[in-house]
Amino acid sequence: GNSVTQMEGPVTLSEEAFLTINCTYTATGYPSLFWYVQYPGEGLQLLLKATKADDKGSNKGFEATYRKETTSFHLEKGSVQVSDSAVYFCALAQGSNTGKLIFGQGTTLQVKP
Amino acid sequence: EAQVTQNPRYLITVTGKKLTVTCSQNMNHEYMSWYRQDPGLGLRQIYYSMNVEVTDKGDVPEGYKVSRKEKRNFPLILESPSPNQTSLYFCASSLYGISSTDTQYFGPGTRLTVL
């Protein structure tokens, strides 16, 4: 079945460091891929998304490229801030306008001043 | 303000005592969904609804019921809660479903403890 695997956290970085959070998936065809962010005590918010191979999603300085050949959707940011401290979830949806969404286990990011 | 609301936000109950967690959205969304969040497991989908009177199972539907009698509300029902249903629950909605052109909005969460 479909699945999403994220790198284990927590990830602890200093402010202005480069961030990579790995995400790989298992699915047939061309799923849509998403990154969600959960700030402390809040619900999830969509961060970025991509729908086909080589698509790059971007938002708030974060980027992720849909790599079909490696079945990956790694999240990157060139210079993290303390305010980026949160839990990041990679997710997959099979097909278009579907109802099912599969999440990875989440990666906690802590950014220190 | 466009939002998804859940009630209650916190609930402590005992095994076997039926409970309902309400979810309401004011955005006229057709799609609604319930998830549970557990440490190390991420979010897992319980049930979802593509429209009024249309519901379907997610990955972990056992022990839960839902209904969608009107577009704005999607209650989650635990007929006989057990301790393994202790979790953080999120409701979410979007215009039509999960897609590249549709954004899913999440509620603030309900923390449930079953003793």
pLDDT, tens digit (0-9, with 9 covering 90-100), for B1-22: 889 999 999 999 999 999 999 9
Judge whether B108 and B7 are in contact, CB under 8 Å. no
Helix (H, G, I), strand (E, B) or coil at B33: strand
> Mean pLDDT, to the nearest integer, of A81-101?
88
Q: Does A81 touch chain B (CB under 8 A)?
A: no
Cβ-defined contact of B42 to A105 (cutoff 8 Å): yes
| Nearest CA distance, B18 vs chain A (angstrom) | 25
Listing from the earlier edge strand, what are the strands of the sheet with A75-77?
A: A19-21, A75-77, A62-65, A56-59
> Mean pLDDT, to the nearest integer, of A44-63?
93
Tokens 């969509």 map to which residue? A46
pLDDT in tens, A6-30: 988 899 999 999 999 999 999 988 8
Partner-chain residue, chosen from A32, A104, A106, that has the shortest CB–CB distance to B99: A32
Tokens 């989908």 map to which residue? B45
Q: Does B10 touch chain A (CB under 8 A)?
A: no
* Structure confidence at residue A63 (pLDDT): 98
pLDDT in tens, B29-75: 999 999 999 988 889 999 999 999 999 999 999 999 999 999 999 99
Reply yes or no on whether the pLDDT at A96 is more than 70: no
Q: What gap in Å lies between CA B100 and CA A95, rounded to an integer? A: 10
What are the beta bridge partners of residue B107? Answer: none
A29 or A87, which is more confident?
A: A87
Tell me which of A54-58, A68-72, A100-104, B86-90 is least confident: A100-104
Reply yes or no on whether the pLDDT at B100 is more than 80: no
* Structure confidence at residue A97 (pLDDT): 66
Q: What gap in Å lies between CA A33 and CA A23, rounded to an integer? A: 10
Q: What gap in Å lies between CA A99 and CA B98, rounded to an integer? A: 6
In chain B, what residues touch A45 (CB-CB under 8 Å)? Answer: 106
Cβ-defined contact of B106 to A51 (cutoff 8 Å): no
Which residue of chain B is at minimal alpha-carbon distance from A91?
B43
